[in-house]
Structure 1
Amino acid sequence: MSDTPTNLDALRQRIDELDNDILRLISDRATCAKQVADVKTKSDPDSVFYRPEREAQVLRRIMELNRGPLDSEEMARLFREIMSACLALEQPIKVAYLGPEGTFTQQAALKHFGASAVSLPMAAIDEVFREVEAGAVNYGVVPVENSTEGVISHTLDSFMDSSIRICGEVVLRIHHHLLVSEATLKDKVSRIYSHPQSFAQCRKWLDAHYPRAERVPVSSNAEAAKMIKGEWHSAAIAGDMAAKLYGLEKIAEKIEDRPDNSTRFLIIGSHDVPISGEDKTSIVVAMRNQPGALHELLEPFHRHQIDLTRLETRPSRSGVWNYVFFIDFKGHCDEPRVAAVLEEVRLRAAEIKVLGSYPIGVL
């Protein structure tokens, strides 16, 4: 027992020394980041400061080098925040996301860009696209598919007439909670607000626990959280960020029907992204209405052994084409094998549009 205080004091002293080292090294890194900004600005005043491929490479390297006891994802998240703060010294990034504040899309934006990015809520997905196209923001974040309910059609349709590029992706585990305000009578809940997708993802739980409650769809889960503040008989389905932001109580946690419920978000911008080493490409292809059109489209991918990760069919918005396919596959369009496949597809298709090549999501 007599040795414990001495050992504890020694450990605390060692922690203080390590903290001093960490502080010095982070400051050195921030100084280096400012020097990078100076070099870039002198060589090209219009330089792009945020490099998605470089950030992905750094995070992958950190995860590979990590030996614990913190797990690799947690270590990568710490480095994400350090890089976010250092990048803000070079040039703060402005990011538009599908709002209002407290949505899962905002959570995805923070996960991808870190807390030092300036995030701006937009009322609709097409507004996010417009802000990026106009140059009012550097990047946008939009949902594209959910593991339970499938593709978000509005996002795919927004790419049809846009010059916007896909610059990255982030996958977010989605946990829904039933939230109430201080004014709610918990045993009298007769109305529940949420986004239609959330209602669909929690359908079985709601049928079992609140079969008679009115389900009122709204534009976002964050909007649902705001609406219940003054209603004594209402609850909302939303996530942790909305609960914290609006000061709500969770009366039931993780009510989604599937425990692996996840949503994939796309990072959109105006620049192409160089090869990072582990990349994905997204294209949209219009095929003529003829027998075997889909087979003709996919055959080059099979022959060149390129892994397709997603294939979606959307109705054509033009009378010229009957089928429009959104395809994701592994590889970068600057790789010779991928370039060869895309050239073959161009010869077979009525139209092809490369939406972007970008790093596969690290976190």
Structure 2
Amino acid sequence: MQRVYLDNAATTAIRPEVVDEMANVMKNVYGNPSSTHVFGREAKALIELSRKNIAQRLNVTSAEIYFTSCGTESNNTIIRSCVNDLDVTRIITTDLEHKCVLESVKDLEKREKVDVIRLNILKDGNIDYDQLEELIKDQSKKTLVSLMHANNEIGNLTDVKHIAKICQENNTLFHTDTVQTVGHYDLDLKDLGVDFASCSAHKIHGPKGAGFLYAKKATHIKPLISGGGQERGLRSGTENVYGIVGLSKSLDLALDELDAHISHIKEIKQYTIDQLKEAIPGVAFNGLSEDLEKSLYALLSIKLPFHDSLIGFELELAGIAVSQGSACSSGAAKVSLVMSTLYTDEEIDQMTPLRVSFSYETTKEDIDILISTLKKIAAKHQLQNA
């Protein structure tokens, strides 16, 4: 049975070039980066070269890039330090954020350290920008705005540059989760004007267990844990040297081939949309997912016109890997918070959400297999309802 992988928003296959780069480091550079002898200095040099490379690709300074294990750690460090160390007493966010942001904010709220305002979400999945602007203008409390750049379930893109400008004008800190967009867009973090951002290597064909956070120089966030003072005091613990090298290499490859990848993946996404509309009457799309310019081009959030809680298993039996939500909540029996925010219970009972996410390796043949299988599943439901 042919296997089809269409869950690249959850994780991507590591590129052979990245594996080779990491393997070379594993075999030849094994010193502790904190050691002062030549073995340690060799390892430390690789970390700093990777940091410099990533900073240059994102148009920030090396001093603003801190290596972490993943996006979850990056987002936790940023949000918790803003409250615990930077005197933030109010957070403005949404119910559509990644679970690591939702849970961090919820925990801080529960501990009565911060007031939380969750923005209204419009029917198309966008935030209420007018409401956000009015809230930011209220400077009675030190505020952090935390909004993801691209939603990981429906793909809606947030106008982070516009929000950053409003935040700057009103002495408000702005954190954006860029896990789904670093390496998928040519981001200039300095031009965007954000205070904080995050990245995870495994979303861009790099290794799991490596990521970074960006913190604008003047923000002075503090560490979550104490120890040997690595990463300029922000993240203690022996550095994951080969993971950091793999992260840097995967970002290089993604950005060097970005135009070709965007062109290919957009063509695949449009092909999927067209084939779905032809094969399944009544199919629709969640949020702005159908719009290639207003949503993440590598993700399509489908709304099938029937309810099938087992569709993920049915597709897996056919060799197709997709998701019904984010990877962090895909094992849950209940509908995701994103879907329950966008739809009423009655609407949810009449539809099935499906997240399909693409990479430069996705082919039209992969999509044909998906469409053929979905068409059979849809026909089964039509017979049941006849």
Question: Going by fraction, where is strand more abundant, 1 or 2?
Answer: 1
TM interval, shorter chain, is 0.3 to 0.5
TM-score by length of 2: 0.32
TM-score of the aligned structures, taking structure 1 as reference length: 0.33
Largest Rg, 1 or 2: 1
Q: Which has the higher contact order (CA 8 A, sep 6+)?
A: 2
